[in-house]
Structure 1
Amino acid sequence: MPTSTMRPRRRLAAALLLAGAAISLTACGQRPVAAGAPSPAPSPSSVVPSGGAPPYVEPGSRDGAPHYNENNAGRRARDMSPASEKDAQKEAGRIEPVLKSLWKQGKWGPENVRSAMLALGYQERKAASDGDRRGPEIEVRAMDSRFVTDHYVTPEGARIGLRVHKDACVTAFVQKTNYQVSVNGPYPETGCFEPPFAH
């Protein structure tokens, strides 16, 4: 046979060999399916949702991000015992009418709020506590600053963190637009105050 007809046959054989290898590689790890038989359901780990989201979605995550709960553990308040929650509700009931009055008077600055809370008989929380508490400890702070357009702004108002028990807090705020009082367990790193978002 002339060499000119041998070259196309070799090229055809090489192309068929490559095509066969490609088919066997793409089928790697899959079970053979008889013609006409239904395809087996894909395993949950092999399913990737549309949009490129990761296949693992952590339960309770708001945006489907892996490790959401782990990354936001510091933003979740701890649980309160029923007895501690009841005591915290009682203290919240004492604080709410005072904040309502301050709000109506337009006295929502930290100094006004602190004076009103101390008048209720609360002990001011100190940075270095000796551990000998006579009752609930309160901390009054300015509102957190927020990023608006191109700079940070600290709104008028005050935030309150009242430690009722080791596992129970009353958190509140009063500002020009509104006021709010709620009960919660302490946060792992920030005590009675909800931690700010990192990003």
Structure 2
Amino acid sequence: MQTLRLGRRRRVAVAALLLGAVISLTACGEQRGTSAAAGAPSASPSASPSSRPSSPGASPYVEPGVVDGAPHNGDNNAYRRSGEMSPAGAKEAQKEADRIEPVLKRLWRQKKWDPKSVRAALLQLGYEEERTGPKGERHGGNLTVRAMDPRHEADHYVTPEGAQVGLRVRKDACVTAFVQKTNYEVKTNGPFMETGCFEPPSGH
């Protein structure tokens, strides 16, 4: 009888040890499976090395804040960043934006978003159409109104109806706007490296 009790105790003790080991392993597995962000899956060792700059083997070319870890992302997209506006430039740009916004709102309500109509309405505010030479050099004026940029849809490019506006307020300040069938927008920004007041299209 004593031997039988000892055998049962050993089996219970062994089962308890095995159960404890399984729970411990499961808990460890869960801890590795989540990140600090609630509900977010943890990053794999190769993903987002910029978030762990001291990790061994991390690429020295990955820049902070780049989600996909693309090398030289900032350099490659520098052409899409607008220049800094001075406080005086920002103030003047906002003043002109406040003049342009009601005009575009009126045109949008009238369903007149073609470049010709938009240009004519904005020239009435006293702006002068910008003139450029054969190599893109500026010869005066401050307003450019042109068609919307083409965009890729399915297997071809389409140019949506509408007009986009670029107004040079100062050397360091622009008003950028558009009006189209669905909406209109007016904002201020510094000039872009390659495209002046107009934001360059994404991708090359």
TM-score higher than 0.5:
yes
Match status 1:88 vs 2:93: yes
Cross-structure match for 1:121: 126
Q: Distance in 2 between matches of 1:90 and 1:44?
A: 47
Mapping 1:1-199, distance limit 5 Å? 44=54, 46-48=56-58, 54=59, 56-128=61-133, 129-130=138-139, 137-199=142-204
Give CA-to-partner distance per residue, 1:75-134, whole Å, 9 cap, x none: 100000000000000000000000000000000000000000101110100113335x6x
Q: Which runs of 5+ in 1 are unaligned?
A: 1-42, 49-53
**Amino acid across the alignment from 1:84:** G
Q: Distance in 2 between matches of 1:168 and 1:56?
A: 32
Task: Please report how far the alpha carbon of residue 64 of structure 1 lies from its aligned counterpart in structure 2 after TM superposition.
Answer: 2.1
Over the aligned positions, Cα root-mean-square deviation in angstroms equals 1.7
Contact 1:89 1:183 in 2 (8 A): yes
SS in 1 for 2:95: helix
Contact 1:60 1:69 in 2 (8 A): no
Cross-structure match for 2:21: none
Give the paired residue count. Answer: 148
SS in 2 for 1:181: strand
What's the TM-score, normalizing by structure 1? 0.70
Q: Which runs of 5+ in 2 are unaligned?
A: 1-52
SS in 2 for 1:164: strand
Stretches (4+) displaced over 6 A: none
Contact 2:104 2:184 in 1 (8 A): yes
Give CA-to-partner distance per residue, 1:53-80, whole Å, 9 cap, x none: x465302334321201111111100000
Q: Distance in 1 between matches of 2:61 and 2:75?
A: 14
SS in 2 for 1:115: helix
- Cα separation, partners in 2 of 1:106 and 1:74, compared to 1, 3 Å: same
